Structure 1
Amino acid sequence: MTASLTTGILPLFLLLGSHVAQVSAWGSVGHQAVGYVAMPFLAPNALSFVRSTLGSQYSQSLGPAAPWADTIRSDDSYDWASNLHFVDAEDSPPSSCSVVQSRDCADGRCILTAIANYTSRVVDTSLSATQTQEALKFLDHFIGDIHQPLHVEAEALGGNEIDVTCSGTSTNLHSVRYTRIIAKLVDDDYGNSVTTWANSLADRIQSGDFADDASSWIECSSTTDPARRKRSVKDDVVGFLHPRAITPLECPLEWAQDANKLDCSFVFTYDQFDDLCTSSYYDDAVPLIEMQIAKAGYRLAAWLNVLFDGDTEL
């Protein structure tokens, strides 16, 4: 690594983790969708920051920038980032699911600590333009990753070691869940256009079937406050940047726990003889995937809005 990349990076991130071979969470299309969903919900200062930071290289948009953190996996100089895409939940799906930060990220090298790290870096005015852009791209990507159930799961390397069939082709569960199903969905239902898909999800958040629940997506239960107290994205970010409240961050942990619950309720409940892309598994997976992509995009916007506009503005 160059000196510019090491500044502010947690030292333990230099070590490789158990999921190095893991493929990308949502694939390029899914990650782009998360970024594109976030864009119409950005408040003025956050939008200005995104546009100026990403520039023409990424069409001034979180969508094209979102897959970047996966594209660098083949670059040896970024080996230190390999295990920041996930948290290895040592649970036992489908019978028992849980994410416990002290157990699953005890060495401080996981997506939970990565989101905290890049939250602080993206507003660090001492960083260069290149470092700031990198911080935004990592945050863009990791908030997408944490909503993928198999990126908050240790079982069979997040499903990479489980052989399954998709449309007659042998592959693994991880690839099916969030690359192949998404590719089929976008091709079949959205004219093979990620922007059409993302716009549809944003519309559903604004006035469709997601609208009634969207406000709850940017709240999170606190493990330290009384049970009746709902912690918001604003509480989480402001408390983190001005440490008088809670460390580590509460909301990303809850997002990871919610995604992990899907490993028990659905992800690992398939029939091993089914083709997962032509059976009822596909039909049941689609609404769950669309919900997770919508949540990730909305929460990404809220996160950036608090950082640059002082409130979620949603």
Structure 2
Amino acid sequence: MAALLALATACAPLQALAWGHTGHRLVAELADADLTPAARRQVDALLAQEPGASLGSIASWADDLREQDPDLGKRTAAWHYVNLGEDHCHYDPPRDCRGGNCAVEALNRQTAILADRSQPAAARLQALKFVVHFTGDLHQPLHAGKAADKGGNTVQVNIDGRGTNLHALWDSGLFRHTGLDDGALLAQIRALPAPAPTQGAILPPHGAQWAEASCRIAVSPGLYPAGSKIDQAYFDRWTPVAERQIRIAGTHLAELLNAALGGS
């Protein structure tokens, strides 16, 4: 297990992208449409610190830190994922999140800052950016997958004669292959049935359950292709799964923001 933890730490820079910019923006825009009036007021007030910002525009900020603020990006790199694939998709904090450095506990901490109105507005805005992003991360299956292959980053695949890796395929390749622009893709995903409302209190976030559900997808038979070539059958099977995860993430994010910001 010590070796796996070392691998998890080593793979931090590689696992900092989930869904790509398009997927994260879709999650945020789905959530944006389901905010309560009280949460909307709070979100708008926080975003007003950056004129023109929206939930969609801040959704990939945590990934962009690698270029915009390398020090903060490095310090928060391990917050984007949690490796459960070698452990039967069961989250055990002492084993899987030492020092709180994983997506599950990072989401808990940032949600607490966001919900605390005694915090400075700048700190709450930064927390909002993290909450939007980490909710998306926790619904990308390979961000809760295997440490041994760095969330699919070391699994090489081939699409139409071009080489990439399995993680990148799930970040953006599945959506790009649809040929739809962002608006059409958003409409298609929004039309999917909404997931059942979360039972019980949403705070603290249900990030552990989200990660475990994502992990179960990551270790499902067939997600790792039998060979390196990704054929149409793979897209036909797994693109709907990825779209469903985006739909679920959007609902979960809306529930989380409504709970954290729902006061008057």
Normalised by the size of structure 2, how large is the TM-score?
Answer: 0.87
Q: Aligned with 1:155: secondary structure?
A: coil
Instruction: Using the TM superposition, give the Cα deviation of residue 142 of structure 1 relative to its aligned residue in structure 2, in angstroms.
Output: 0.1
CA 1:115–1:267 in structure 2 vs 1: closer, same or farther (change >3 Å)?
Answer: farther
Tell me the equivalent position of 2:5: none
Are 1:215 and 2:196 an aligned pair? yes
The CA deviation string for residues 256-307 of structure 1, in whole angstroms up to 9 with x for no partner, is 0000001121464412142x2x431111111100110000011000011112
CA deviations on 1:31-64 (whole Å, 9 max, x unpaired) are 0000011111110011122222123847452111
Cα distance in 1, alignment partners of residues 89 and 255 from structure 2: 27
Task: Specify which of 183, 189, 196 is matched with residue 195 of structure 1.
Answer: 183
Distance 1:267 1:77, change over 3 A: farther
Q: Who is 1:31 aligned against?
A: 24
Q: Are 1:99 and 2:52 counterparts?
A: no
Aligned to 1:76, which of 70, 89, 113? 70
Q: Aligned pairs, how many?
A: 252
Q: Report the 3-state secondary structure (helix = DSSP H, G, I; strand = E; otherwise coil) of the residue aligned with 1:215.
A: coil
| Residues 18 and 83, structure 1, Cα contact 8 Å, conserved in 2 | no
- When residues 202 and 56 of structure 1 are mapped into structure 2, their CA distance, relative to the original with a 3 A threshold, is farther
Provide the aligned C-alpha RMSD in A. Answer: 2.1
Task: State how 1:1-314 maps to structure 2 within 5 Å.
Answer: 17-22=9-14, 23-55=16-48, 57=50, 59-74=52-67, 75-78=69-72, 79-89=74-84, 91=86, 96-153=88-145, 154-185=147-178, 188=179, 190=180, 192=181, 194-204=182-192, 210-211=193-194, 214-216=195-197, 218-219=198-199, 232=200, 235-237=201-203, 240=204, 251-266=206-221, 268-274=223-229, 276=230, 278-309=231-262
Q: Is the 8 A contact 2:84 2:212 kept in 1?
A: no
Work out the CA distance in 1 between the residues paired with 2:246 and 2:120: 31
- Whichever of the two has the greater Rg, that structure is 1
Aligned letter for 1:180?
G
Query: Which fold has the larger relative contact order, with Cα–Cα distance below 8 Å and residues 6 or more apart in sequence?
Result: 2
- SS in structure 1 at match of 2:106: helix
123-132 or 168-177, larger mean C-alpha shift = 123-132
Task: In structure 1, list runs of 5 or more residues that go unmatched.
Answer: 1-15, 205-209, 220-231, 241-248
Q: 1:282 to 1:87 in 2, by over 3 A?
A: same
CA distance in 2, matches of 1:55, 1:196: 28
Q: What is the identity, as a one-letter code, of the residue corresponding to 2:184?
A: T
Give the stretch that moved more between structures: 57-66 or 67-76.
57-66
Residues 58, 183 of structure 1: CA spacing in aligned structure 2 closer, same or farther, 3 A cutoff?
farther
- Secondary structure of 1:127's counterpart equals coil
Structure 2: tracts of 5 or more residues without a match: 1-7
Between the aligned partners of 1:167 and 1:306, the Cα distance in structure 2 is 44
Change (3 A) 1:40 1:138: same
1:164–1:170: 8 Å Cα contact kept in structure 2?
yes
Q: Distance in 1 between matches of 2:45 and 2:188?
A: 26
